Amino acid sequence: KIKTEDQVPGKEINSFLSLAEERAMQQAEKIDGMLKAGENLPVLAGVPIGIKDVLTMQGAPSTAGSKILKNYHPPYDATAVRKLEAAGAVLLGKLNCDEFAMGGSNENSAYGPVRNPRALDRVPGGSSGGSAAAVAAGFCVASLGTDTGGSVRQPAAFCGVTGLLPTYGRISRYGLIAFASSLDRVGPVTRSVRDTATMLSVLSGPDPMDATASQTPVEDYVAATKAPVAGLKIGIPAEYFGEGLEPEIRAAVERTLDQLKAAGCTTHPISLAHTKYAVPTYYVLATAEASSNLSRFDGVRFGHRVDHPKNLSELYKESREEGFGPEVKRRILLGTYSLSSGYYDAYYRKAQQVRTLLARDFLAAFAEVDAIVTPITPTPPWKLGEKTEDPLSMYLADIYTVAASLAGISGISVPVGETAEHLPIGVQVLAGHFQEAKLLRVAQAIE
Ligand code: GLN
């Protein structure tokens, strides 16, 4: 049991925002009792797991990395949280993240940035930076993150761990504090593809509390990781290997492709022609949805309320002014603008149309190939503070992750080595909707 703040191991990494000691101890004792009674143990029995702070969990606050939810203690568990505990996991507490999952470096958290355990002067990626850092540092065996535009895959790549983007609808979003509902997905961060498969088996399936959670049958993902990959066709999209990709990352992806060929896969050049529109499309749609979703934080129903407002309008304005950080405000402004009647057709509707084109690119590709291999990020993790003054350069770093998010397909980030400076490199594998079995099979072959 941790008694004081200072005893928290690895405190400088700042990955945990709160610990759910009581709940974790109860669960550990329960599992211990089962063990002593000689009962059959569930698949995650005793496995310590951390939860991104945008997911609700009773017994701990859910701040979503925001000041506006500082004292929010949710009275219910997210479905993903409930399922992990039912499978025997010991839930340690809540993990730091960018405010409302908006960011790619974890520097937008109201509770301070997370440091990359592999290089303390570097960002861990984001928005699930705490989830990736805690697994990389060994504070927990696995964690839950969320991926709206790359937020599980990119921090996994930056911290040298494995991160899954399940198909939209594969894992229930009930209890996930919404950023952009048509894009938000819960995904596990782990230390191996095999662990990812185990987590996915536990987390997947329909949920009466989330109408978008799919009825598509859950497969045996662990068995899938043991199947050979010989004969699988791997697509290499030209658009993901253009300008701005650091040579060391390109070389790592090329080594991965050689590895797959040696295992009997064939590689095929493909084109995902609309890729160059993915970042602008994502930032129009994600901010539009965010501006709508975040209207519930009004100082009345949830979270922070300003002291002594003069009237109702001031109560709304001042509570939001004090509660939200600069990146969240920027996005609410952008989203409100593109949804406004004068600009809706030019931005929001247009972006929805381009989203369909991006999805069609992938559908056409998956008619020809089984999986696609690409980089996750154009560069290795950057230094803390390096991009904070330039939000646009931060947005552009999402170039390889957001198209898969817009298309709803499955993806995974697998660590494949490091740069000369010992910074981790991840490779992305993408597969079609509900093709997680095939995705994990390919991922296992490159691990
Ligand atoms: N970096 C992207 C953004 O800032 C992705 C965030 C996410 O996936 N939650 O929106």
Q: If you take atom 10 of ligand 1, which residue's CA is the nearest one?
A: 102
Condensed to tens digits (0 to 9), the pLDDT of residues 121-179 reads 999 999 999 999 999 999 999 999 999 999 999 999 999 999 999 999 999 999 999 99
Q: What is the pLDDT of residue 439?
A: 98
Q: What is the pLDDT of residue 302?
A: 79
Residue 18 annotated to the active site: no
- What ipTM score was computed for the predicted complex, to two decimals? 0.98
**Pocket flag, ligand 1, residue 104 (CB < 6 Å):** yes
* φ, ψ at 164 (rounded to 5°): -110, 135
pLDDT classification of 6: cutoffs 50, 70, 90: low
Condensed to tens digits (0 to 9), the pLDDT of residues 310-341 reads 999 999 999 999 999 999 999 999 999 999 99
Between the two ends of the chain, the Cα-to-Cα distance in Å is: 35
Q: What is the pLDDT of residue 11?
A: 87
Please state, rounded to an integer, the average pLDDT across all residues of the chain: 96
Token representation of residue 19: 């610990």
| CATH 3.90.1300.10 holds for 5-233+375-446 | yes
Condensed to tens digits (0 to 9), the pLDDT of residues 97-123 reads 999 999 999 999 999 999 999 999 999
Q: Are 323 and 297 in contact (CB under 8 A)?
A: yes
* φ, ψ at 211 (rounded to 5°): -65, -20
Cα–Cα distance between 416 and 249 in angstroms, integer?
Answer: 10
Distance from the alpha carbon of residue 149 to the mean position of ligand 1, in angstroms: 5
**Pocket flag, ligand 1, residue 65 (CB < 6 Å):** no
Residue 271 annotated to the active site: no
Q: If you take atom 5 of ligand 1, which residue's CA is the nearest one?
A: 149
Condensed to tens digits (0 to 9), the pLDDT of residues 49-95 reads 999 999 999 999 999 999 999 989 999 999 999 999 999 999 999 99
Q: What is the pLDDT of residue 226?
A: 97
Distances in whole angstroms, Cα of residue 139 to Cα of each of 65, 102, 231, 318, 413: 19, 24, 39, 38, 20
Q: What is the pLDDT of residue 125?
A: 98
**Pocket flag, ligand 1, residue 198 (CB < 6 Å):** no
Mean pLDDT of 177-190: 98
Q: What proportion of the chain, given as a percentage, has pLDDT over 70?
A: 98
Sequence spans of domains, the chain: 5-233+375-446
| Mutate-to-test residue for ligand 1 from 131, 151, 154, 405, highest number of ligand atoms within 8 A of CB | 151
Distance from the alpha carbon of residue 132 to the mean position of ligand 1, in angstroms: 14
pLDDT classification of 10: cutoffs 50, 70, 90: confident
pLDDT classification of 353: cutoffs 50, 70, 90: very high
Q: What is the pLDDT of residue 301?
A: 85
Residue 36 annotated to the active site: no
Condensed to tens digits (0 to 9), the pLDDT of residues 45-54 reads 999 999 999 9
Mean pLDDT of 240-263: 97
Distances in whole angstroms, Cα of residue 119 to Cα of each of 95, 136, 141, 156: 19, 11, 20, 14
Distance from the alpha carbon of residue 307 to the mean position of ligand 1, in angstroms: 32
DSSP 299: S
Mean pLDDT of 416-427: 97
